[in-house]
């Protein structure tokens, strides 16, 4: 099966917490992500309930930081293409 690279942006603390938990289950973050995606496809739905009580709000500062990083990354790529 051919594989493709997927890039996601995640808060550093959240990533570390997830990696520690998955490690205790002998899983990598990548393994857990693949398991999640397979369950989504199998169930044709998100495999857990989402409601107002279990959604955390991402602070505007985090969104701004990620946006700025993406803008800068794309700017560098376009500058390289323009050469």
- The pair of structure tokens assigned to 32 is 């857990």
Residues 6+ apart with CB under 8 A from 19: 28, 29
Band of pLDDT at residue 29, cut at 50, 70 and 90: very high
* Cβ atoms of residues 46 and 60 within 8 Å: no
**Per-domain residue ranges of the chain:** 12-82
Q: Does the CA dihedral 45-48-50-56 come out positive or negative?
A: negative
Global pTM exceeds 0.75: no
Per residue in 59-81, pLDDT tens? 777 777 777 887 877 777 777 77
């Amino acid at each position: 099966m051919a594989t493709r690279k997927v890039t996601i942006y995640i808060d550093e603390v959240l990533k570390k917490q997830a990696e520690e938990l998955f490690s205790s289950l002998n899983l990598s973050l990548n393994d857990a992500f693949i398991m999640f995606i397979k369950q989504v496809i199998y169930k044709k739905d998100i495999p857990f309930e989402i409601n107002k009580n279990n959604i955390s709000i991402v602070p505007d500062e985090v969104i701004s930081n990620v946006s700025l990083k993406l803008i800068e990354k794309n700017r560098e790529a376009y500058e390289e293409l323009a050469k």
